[in-house]
A and B are shown apart, each in its own frame.
Chain A
């Protein structure tokens, strides 16, 4: 590899590039940040399996040169739970969007966090349903406009990172695409953490969210995002009404707990004397 080649394209399917994301979409940045975090965590790229659901962000594993699973809408975490339970040596990474993760797969998300299964979930939150044409999603900020909210969204948005931290995940963080150093470090910590790691990345969507909210260019969206970002340490000292419409970034949970597949293996060895994976009718053939 020559030095003038991009550092991230060796991990990608070069025949598929350039990808179909809109100009200025944050999904490409998160691809780069994930690869950088994976390099920093010194993980084996061949041992990583990527799972995704439906949406713009769920097209990311299609561009990566590794094993990937493109599943039904909202059920990416269910498929990933099955994959991890069947083969616990795999490093399973789930890429989901906000509609995929919070709306239709909301129950799967909180129950995967409650079980504390060893997955790394990167939730790409662009505040809108981008692929289907700009409908309001559960994470759209109050007062934002969309195709289904011509007079402004009146609902309070989901606070995904705090929801997952309350549900019992061992690592939960939220960053935006412009805080690259923090995002890369957070992905590295999430990959190394033995337990459910949830990283919410707030991205820009200039095509749908930006066009409806008078932020047409990617740089305008990014500038507004940068101006509205508050770190968690300073947000703890602020009143709740000052935090309306702001993006609070930081780590919301970092602890250690018993892990799901380890529990299954331990109880299987206690009761039956061997591991669950080969405790079947075909045991003699294995």
Chain B
């Protein structure tokens, strides 16, 4: 499952280029910022590789964490040493 943050996306379409399964497609409408947002066209093709999540320069794409292979942990605490800013 892929979530796209519409406020953060700037419309560079690198996710379309990088996805080797061609999950994404460009919408024909412009949003209020003048950006043609990508949307998930073929969600069933997604293999949760997580490349689009890292390539997105604006941190707009989130691939469902619990099914993501390269985190490898069921709970969301991907870095147990990170104290969330509390020292």
Query: A residues bordering B, Cβ < 8 Å?
Result: 1-12, 17-19, 21, 23-29, 31-33, 36, 38-39, 42-46, 65, 177-178, 180, 184, 206, 217-219, 222-223
On chain B, the residues within 8 Å of A223 by CB distance are 17
Separation of A9 and B61 alpha carbons in the complex (Å): 11
B interface, over-half SS:
loop
Separation of A223 and B65 alpha carbons in the complex (Å): 29
Known: A32-B53, A218-B12, A223-B17. A19 touches B58 (CB 8 A): yes
On chain B, the residues within 8 Å of A9 by CB distance are 59
Closest B residue to A181 by CB, please name it.
Answer: B51
Q: Contact: B81 with A178, CB < 8 Å?
A: no
Known: A7-B53, A17-B8, A218-B14. A28 touches B58 (CB 8 A): yes
- Beta-carbon contacts of B1-15 to A below 8 Å, as 1s and 0s? 001010110111110
Known: A1-B76, A18-B8. A36 touches B85 (CB 8 A): no
Smallest CB separation, B18 vs chain A (Å): 7
- Per the 8 Å Cβ criterion, residues 18-59 of B in contact with A are 18, 51, 53-59
On chain A, the residues within 8 Å of B7 by CB distance are 18
On chain B, the residues within 8 Å of A38 by CB distance are 79
Separation of A180 and B20 alpha carbons in the complex (Å): 13
Separation of A7 and B62 alpha carbons in the complex (Å): 7
On chain A, the residues within 8 Å of B61 by CB distance are 6
Smallest CB separation, A37 vs chain B (Å): 10
On chain B, the residues within 8 Å of A44 by CB distance are 81-82
Known: A46-B82, A65-B85. A23 touches B59 (CB 8 A): no
Q: A2-B76, A32-B57, A46-B87 are in contact. List 13 more A-B contacts (CB 8 A).
A: A4-B3, A4-B62, A6-B59, A10-B84, A17-B58, A23-B12, A27-B57, A42-B79, A46-B82, A178-B18, A180-B51, A218-B14, A219-B13
Separation of A286 and B85 alpha carbons in the complex (Å): 28
Residue among B14, B65, B76 having the largest count of chain A Cβ atoms under 10 Å: B14
Closest B residue to A28 by CB, please name it.
Answer: B57
Closest B residue to A63 by CB, please name it.
Answer: B59
- Beta-carbon contacts of B52-75 to A below 8 Å, as 1s and 0s? 011111111110111000010000
